Amino acid sequence: MRVWVGISLLSLVMCGTALAEDLNAPAQKTPTIATEMQRGHNVTAECIARTQYWDDLSDCVEGAEQLENRNNADTDAFQLGLFGSALVKLTELEQRALDKGDTIGKFMILTGKQWYFTVAELQTKTGVSDRQLSDFVDAFPAKLKAIKEHWASHVLP
Is residue 6 pLDDT above 70, yes or no? no
pLDDT for the residue numbered 11: 55
Model confidence at 1, pLDDT cuts 50, 70, 90, reads: low
Give the integer Cα–Cα distance in Å for 57 and 90. Answer: 8
H-type alpha helices, the chain = 2-23, 33-50, 54-70, 76-99, 106-126, 130-134, 141-153
pTM: 0.80
Model confidence at 7, pLDDT cuts 50, 70, 90, reads: low
Is residue 77 pLDDT above 60, yes or no? yes
Inter-residue contact 84 to 118 (CB < 8 Å): no
**Of the ranges 27-31, 65-69, 109-113, 135-139, which one carries the lowest mean pLDDT score?**
27-31
